[in-house]
Amino acid sequence: MKKQHRDIAKRILRNIPFFGAAVKAMHRAQRRPFKLPPGSICFETSSFCNLKCSYCPQSVEGAIKEKGMMNRETMGRILENIDAKHIRSVGFTGIGETFLNKEWAVILGMVRKKFPAAIISMNTNGILLDYAKFESILENKVDTVSVSLNAVNKERYIQINRADHFDDLVAGIKAIIQRYQSSPAKFTRLQIQLLDTVNSDEEISDFIRKFSITENRYVTFYANPYSNWGGLIFEKKTKEERYPCTHLYIPDVNYRGEVYACGVGHANSDSEFLIGDLTKEPHEKVYQSANFMRLHEANMKGRLEMENKLCADCNSWNRIGNIYFKNPFPFGSKWL
């Protein structure tokens, strides 16, 4: 059969509801690991922090092997190695506090210039956040700033975050919100994070009511569960069947430009999850590395937790819902 006839036949078969889905599934089962890098990336501008929260690797003695700050030169080299068309979302996260880096605003501006259409988010404990910094955030059209308040009262804040900043932090957040609500330049969503692992639903609802700030498009509250950081904080093994871990495709770039396949691998400095260095090689090449291919294939075969102890001990895999389905064919990976 000539190629043009085969193409016509394929188009006809794809329009038959069940058969079309089967053809697509078969192609997906036969494909190699994706050729292009993921559309998300996270940057760590600082691995230092001004807190040692009980749920964070910063609280575990010796967990973070080296600490440092990213400078604009390092970020410049990183950005040169990334094709902007691949990136849809950028996070400023890592295992430190962004605002401890004196060049944070310059670096943020560089990232926004490189990725003008990307969704940008930032995480902070909020201690150093003031309205002057918030204005820089607005200027660079950051989509979401998440402030880790975590607790619903002072006593619990001290228990979780191991410091006494609750009253000042709540007052500071309210002051920013009040000025922001009267500002004509609204773009950024200010998200206040609470931990549902240690705060009940009733306590969270009561706190939001007493906070006296009405939720809207630009101010929201978010209840987040604990991550155990691959067993670094507490062990939590599960017997339920796992689906592929999507965190494997949200890379963490540390302050030196080294790329870890996920934030948990980064927090544990696990060399098995180190997949490249964006100061030395293109983004596409990072995702052709032996480490990434090994992790990706194990993930799609349903063997990630069997082949990696860090994954076996981790409870983060189900914090993102399942976007895969089981392969109905006798060939290819377990998951598609």
Share of the chain above pLDDT 90, in %: 66
Count of Cβ atoms closer than 10 Å to residue 155 Cβ = 11
Question: pLDDT-derived band of residue 24, with 50, 70 and 90 as boundaries?
Answer: low
Region 210-230: mean pLDDT is 88
Helix (H) or strand (E) holding 27: helix 17-30
284/60 Cα distance (integer angstroms): 34
> Given phi > 0 = left and psi -120 to 50 = alpha, else beta, which region is 302?
left
| Whole-number average pLDDT of the chain | 88
**pLDDT at 248 > cutoff 70:** yes
Q: Return the sign of the alpha-carbon dihedral for residues 275, 277, 278, 282.
A: negative
277/285 Cα distance (integer angstroms): 10
- The whole-number pLDDT of residue 7 equals 61
Question: pLDDT-derived band of residue 29, with 50, 70 and 90 as boundaries?
Answer: very low
pTM for the predicted model, two decimal places: 0.88
Question: pLDDT-derived band of residue 226, with 50, 70 and 90 as boundaries?
Answer: confident
Question: pLDDT-derived band of residue 33, with 50, 70 and 90 as boundaries?
Answer: very low
47/98 Cα distance (integer angstroms): 8
Q: Which amino acid is at 320?
A: I
Q: What is the pLDDT of residues 146-200, one digit of tens each?
A: 999 999 999 999 999 999 999 999 999 999 999 998 888 789 999 999 998 889 9
Residues 334, 326: contact at Cβ < 8 Å?
yes
Q: Sort 162 into a burial class: Cβ within 10 Å, 0-12 / 13-18 / 19+.
A: middle
The pairing of strands 89-92 and 258-260 is unpaired
301/234 Cα distance (integer angstroms): 27
The DSSP secondary structure of 231-289, one letter per residue, reads TTS------SPPPP-GGGGS-EE-TTSEEESSHHHHHTT-GGGEEEETTTS-HHHHTTS
Question: pLDDT-derived band of residue 327, with 50, 70 and 90 as boundaries?
Answer: confident
Structure tokens at 299: 């993930």
Region 4-18: mean pLDDT is 56
Count of Cβ atoms closer than 10 Å to residue 325 Cβ = 11
What pairs with residue 5 in β-bridges? none
Structure tokens at 87: 């990136």
- The whole-number pLDDT of residue 283 equals 95
Q: How far apart are the first and last CA of the chain?
A: 30
Place of tokens 């990072």: 286
Region 292-303: mean pLDDT is 94
Tell me how far CA of residue 311 lies from CA of 242, 263, 295, in angstroms. Answer: 11, 12, 10
Structure tokens at 109: 């501006």
**Strand, helix or coil for residue 69:** strand
95/49 Cα distance (integer angstroms): 8
Q: What is the pLDDT of residues 94-111, one digit of tens each?
A: 889 999 999 999 999 999
